[in-house]
Amino acid sequence: MNGTLLYFQSTFKTSFEEYITPELLLNGVLLFTSITLSLVLFTYIYLGLKKKKFLVKDRIRKNLELWISHVILEEDDEEVIRIPSKFIKIFRNPLARQYAIDNLIINKKAFSGMVASNIRNLYQHLGFRKDSLRKLKSRTWYVQAKGIQELSMMDQNDQLIRVYRLTNSKNELVRTEAQTAIIQWAGFNGLRFLDVVSYAISEWQQVQLLVQLKNFTPQDMPKLERWLSSKNSTVIIFALKLVEVYQQFGIRRKVEECLLHQKEPVRRQAINTLLKIGDETSAEILIRAYNDEDYANKISILRALAVFANETHFPFLVAELSNSDDHIKLEAARALGAIGGVGVLDQKAAVQPEPYALIAKHIKAELLL
Amino acid sequence: MNWESLIYDFITYVIFAYSVTLLIFYLLIAIYSTGDARRYMHKNSFTDYKTLVSSPHVPSISILAPAYNEGATIIENVRSLLSVYYSNLEVVIINDGSKDDTLQKLIDAYDLEKMDFFVRQQVPSKDVRGVYKSRNPVFRKLVVVDKVNGGKADALNVGVNIASNNYIVCIDVDCVLEQDALLKLVKPFIEETEVRVIATGGVIRIANSCLIEHGKLLKVRLPLQYLPRMQVLEYIRAFLLGRMAWSRLNGLLLISGAFGAFDKDIVIKCGGYYHNTVGEDMELVVRMRRYLEERNIPYKVAFIPDPLCWTEAPASYKILARQRNRWSRGTIETLQMHKKMFFNPRYGVLGMLSYPYWFFFEMCAPAVEFIGFVALLVMSFFGMINWGTFVLFLFFIISFGYTYSAFAVLMEVLTYNQYKRRTDVMKLLLTGLTEPFLFHPFVVWHGVKGYIDLIRKKKSWGEMTRQGFGQPPA
Amino acid sequence: MKILIAEDEPLILQTIELKLKKEGYEVIACVDGLDALQKIDSEKPDLIITDIMMPYMSGLEVIRKVKQDIHSKNIPVIVLSTMGQENIVEEAFELGADDYLKKPFSLSELSIRIKKIARQSKLQ
């Protein structure tokens, strides 16, 4: 090796070799080659471990799967769950415990009634609750979130107060899992976390919460009005969705006030909510708000007008037919079509066939669908 | 010191500085991508996509899929798109003036009827000959548009004008999507609370040799042929490392034309796809970003690392050459159009980091590599540097390339691990060994040819066939 | 009576399978839509229980195919799904499903419905 290097060094000719010495390059090659080899080695060690873990898990699965199914199908209430002695050893393995917990969660999601209560009993009987509580105390965000999820899926309602505190955690995942858990345990009453939550509730989380609420019988939400004036604009948006989904007509005035909110997303949701609960008076309010709204909200307002405008609003819609934007033209026409203004469209088309003849036809075709 | 040697000095310093900077960039990308990938995986394990996919509260999506002479496969492809689970969905198929029976096949298979349809002129596009919907309520999600041929960008613009939903997902019609692909792709739009998400890009995975039936991916297999297999490695590097890191910096410049979602309002405000470039997918993202930067609106271009979209990669040298030629031209055209941003602090990360990176290491890379290689070769031939140094320098670069590839494979194994068999991983690594001698020179050469074609203004689109997916950064 | 179940979550599939076997039914378990369709063809079950969201072929597609085929169109179908949205329930019934249970569901309720459907199809 030294020989080659000497050879390289003796034949310097330009500055290339002055700075990029062969020695340096050779060291670089050696460095990268050894890093490459270690990476490959690491890849294979990892694959090996993964395979081993898979085999262990698979053995656990084969051992436990059928047994769990049998236990949770047990129909006799009085029967005490007996853990076969060979399983006692298996359950010392954390992997096995986690497998069993995950298995129970999957089943719990699918089944209600007797099976669900058997699942809960088994979870407690095997001491998994302690595992979940330990996770809840963890400082690692995803471990803590997992703990919350397990406790919530297994209906461990007594943890409500502890988890409730986490509904405003600074970690997003912990926070959303905690919110979800509270709803799982307390249904509509769980929504009280909206009183205190200061972090934004993402649209995504709102979808999850609404899906979850579907599992409960609708209840009065006395605090709706308060949420609609929350300092947290995402709470207002969520409350507006609740108004929409659960048809809270009584609160329409308050929704109309949201049309004046300074944040654009709030106003947009207010328009969409009015679309579901509004009436002719809302049409007036929306038309008044129209001119100051941005493009997307204008479209939303026109869509709402399609639902509850009437003949008195024809002039407004006809004026919008002449808007330079094609999308606004079409939405205005659609609104006219929906509230019995096809004749008005035809008149417009007769005066100015391009483009209104086609627009009128388009609307008629849609009405036929 | 005569000025001849000054030139040599200059060349050698440039090559050296270039290599070192590139090396540092790759290292940073590799390190930077890891943290985010792990975080994403942890978070994702909590979401039960199954329960959310049917919610009426998810944002509405229009899929836009241009088709040109796809008669042979169109029916299966559309069936596959229609079977994707999503509650607020519209599937718009745009027949871009096919010369074959693509349209007729669709009409027959889906019982289509021509509608009176007012096409909104929101972004410029060629004439629409007709809009079709199905008489059968089962296919109510489907809209088929027949238009005059105008290329992919034009077809997508028609799609934008027709689409009735708020988000558009642009896709190659022959892509195979995973069941929950759409929900995962739109998630960033509604998950972000601080800034406006204007687009999200998904990962493209290579479907060659995979078992696909009825438009569904049944089994993932490593491609048997050399070129697709090489591209598997290339795509893993580009998507799992490159895009992950760039999206974390919010500096992503490119979303694959084969699978990306956009906020339709912004697309319209920016004027839609631009017809006069072969790199329309990259150009649109750059223009959208520029639009928001100039208005000082906080925004983000997001990226989803899950393998959601599978597509055939070019398996022949001829088609691969054409694809790389086109990518090279597309990159140059895009960067040229937006040269105002080059090291312009007004554009933040975009102007100071993303654009220069693309300029030096994507656009110039083929030229620098090519000229550098030739220059060093000539210099060693005339004895100005010695052969040993030359060879060592090449080995240095090559060994770094191997390290980067090995790291990418490791990341893939640690995250999604699509190729589960150990022999497959080995095959992938071994294929990587040949890259600097076979695949890479070929790709570089055709990149350089792209420059030459562009200079000659040879505006060929390449055949508008199916090699048209987006360009991953190398 | 031979019952075919299509459900992509193996644990849930197993629990249902076990329950139905306990009640004395013959059970054919399928892990996805395609699998189900093939086995419907070869095994000719008396009743089909299917999930909607499954790999390769959705439960709704399975129902459509079953109801289009003259050999299988009289086999009653019960849908089991997490999707409770009205339009999906409607679509399932339009395609020819006979019953729809939203997850989480009670297994005893399922077996009552099976008995009811079995009685009805015997009457015909």
Nearest Cβ partner for A29 among B52, B115, B392 = B392
- Each residue's pLDDT tens digit, B419-468: 988 999 999 999 999 999 999 999 999 999 999 998 887 554 444 343 33
φ/ψ of residue B204, rounded to 5: -100, 130
Closest by alpha carbon to C87, among B405, B94, B56, A51?
B56
**Tokens 């262990």, residue located:** A56
Closest by alpha carbon to A235, among A202, A271, A207?
A202
C56 interface with B at CB cutoff 8 Å: yes
Give me the number of domains chain C comprises: 1
How high is the pLDDT of residue B458?
Answer: 54
CB contact under 8 A, B392 and A358: no
Q: Which residue of C lies nearest to B84 if distances are taken between CA atoms?
A: C58
CA distance C124 to chain A (A): 32
Contacts of A140 (CB under 8 A, 6+ apart): none
Nearest Cβ partner for A22 among B13, B59, B392 = B392
In one-letter notation, the amino acid at residue B334 is T
- Local confidence band at B54 (pLDDT 50, 70, 90 cut-offs): confident
Q: Which residue of A lies nearest to C80 if distances are taken between CA atoms?
A: A110
Residues paired with B146 in a beta bridge:
B95, B130
Could you say which DSSP state residue A14 is in?
Answer: S
Residues paired with B259 in a beta bridge:
B171
Nearest Cβ partner for C104 among A65, A103, A110 = A110
Written as six digits, the tokens of B289 are: 């970003």
- Local confidence band at A191 (pLDDT 50, 70, 90 cut-offs): very high
Does the pLDDT of residue C122 top 80, yes or no?
Answer: no
* 3-state secondary structure at position B261: strand
Q: Characterise B62 by phi-psi region: left (phi > 0), alpha (psi -120 to 50), beta (else).
A: beta
The arithmetic mean of pLDDT across residues B256-264, rounded, is: 92
CB contact under 8 A, B50 and C56: no
B179 interface with C at CB cutoff 8 Å: yes
> What's the sign of the alpha-carbon dihedral B206, B207, B209, B211?
positive
- Local confidence band at B51 (pLDDT 50, 70, 90 cut-offs): confident
Does A18 or B108 have the greater pLDDT score? B108
The arithmetic mean of pLDDT across residues A89-107, rounded, is: 91
How is chain B split into domains, by residue range? 29-46+175-354
- Local confidence band at B16 (pLDDT 50, 70, 90 cut-offs): confident
- Each residue's pLDDT tens digit, C54-66: 888 889 889 999 9
φ/ψ of residue B97, rounded to 5: 60, 45
A13 interface with B at CB cutoff 8 Å: yes
d(CA A72, CA A75): 8
How high is the pLDDT of residue A86?
Answer: 83
- Each residue's pLDDT tens digit, A276-316: 998 888 899 999 999 999 999 999 999 999 998 899 999 99
CB contact under 8 A, C83 and B56: no
DSSP notation for A29-42: HHHHHHHHHHHHHH
- What is the Rg, in whole angstroms, of the alpha carbon atoms belonging to chain A? 32
Could you say which DSSP state residue A81 is in?
Answer: P
Query: What percent of chain B has a predicted confidence (pLDDT) above 70?
Result: 95
How high is the pLDDT of residue C124?
Answer: 58
CB contact under 8 A, A39 and B386: no
Does the pLDDT of residue A4 top 50, yes or no?
Answer: no
d(CA A283, CA A19): 77
Residues of B in contact with A35 (CB under 8 A): 403, 406
How high is the pLDDT of residue B372?
Answer: 85
Asked if C6 and C36 count as a contact pair (C-beta separation under 8 A), the reply is yes
Asked if B95 and B146 count as a contact pair (C-beta separation under 8 A), the reply is yes
- The domain containing residue C79 runs over which residues? 2-123
Written as six digits, the tokens of B75 are: 């029916």
3-state helix, strand, coil in chain A (%, to 5): 80, 0, 20
d(CA B334, CA B326): 12
How high is the pLDDT of residue A17?
Answer: 61
CB contact under 8 A, B216 and C58: no
Closest by alpha carbon to B472, among B249, B243, B216, B171?
B243
Query: What percent of chain C has a predicted confidence (pLDDT) above 90?
Result: 63
Written as six digits, the tokens of A265 are: 């997303």
> What's the sign of the alpha-carbon dihedral B263, B265, B270, B276?
positive
CA distance C24 to chain B (A): 32
CB contact under 8 A, B213 and C56: yes
ipTM confidence score: 0.91
- Each residue's pLDDT tens digit, A227-243: 999 999 999 999 999 99
Query: What percent of chain B has a predicted confidence (pLDDT) above 90?
Result: 62
How high is the pLDDT of residue B8?
Answer: 72
Closest by alpha carbon to A153, among A212, A69, A219, A75?
A212
Residues of A in contact with B12 (CB under 8 A): 14-16, 20
Residues of C in contact with A114 (CB under 8 A): 106-108
**Can you give the length of chain C in residues?**
124
Look at the domain B29-46+175-354 and name its fold. Spore Coat Polysaccharide Biosynthesis Protein SpsA; Chain A (3.90.550)
How high is the pLDDT of residue A7?
Answer: 44
How high is the pLDDT of residue C105?
Answer: 92
- Each residue's pLDDT tens digit, B325-363: 999 999 999 999 999 999 999 999 999 999 999 999 999
Determine which helix (DSSP H) or strand (DSSP E) holds B31, and give its type and residue range. Answer: helix B3-44
Test the C interface: residue of A60, A115, A153 with most C CBs within 10 Å: A115
Residues of C in contact with A103 (CB under 8 A): 11
Does the pLDDT of residue B47 top 90, yes or no?
Answer: no
d(CA A148, CA A165): 12
Nearest Cβ partner for C18 among A70, A106, A113 = A70
Residues paired with B204 in a beta bridge:
B309
Asked if A163 and A183 count as a contact pair (C-beta separation under 8 A), the reply is no
d(CA A13, CA B62): 64
DSSP notation for B188-202: HHHH--SSEEEEEEE
Helices (H), A228-324: 233-245, 252-258, 264-277, 280-290, 295-308, 314-321
- Local confidence band at B162 (pLDDT 50, 70, 90 cut-offs): very high
d(CA A341, CA A332): 10
Asked if A175 and A166 count as a contact pair (C-beta separation under 8 A), the reply is yes
Residues of A with CB under 8 A from a CB of C: 65-66, 69-70, 72-73, 103, 106-116, 214
φ/ψ of residue B352, rounded to 5: -90, -20
- Each residue's pLDDT tens digit, A8-43: 444 444 455 666 788 888 999 999 999 999 999 999
Q: Which residue of C lies nearest to B56 if distances are taken between CA atoms?
A: C85
Residue numbers of B between 389 and 448 with CB closer than 8 Å to C: none
Closest by alpha carbon to B172, among B470, B418, B406?
B470
Residues paired with B142 in a beta bridge:
B91
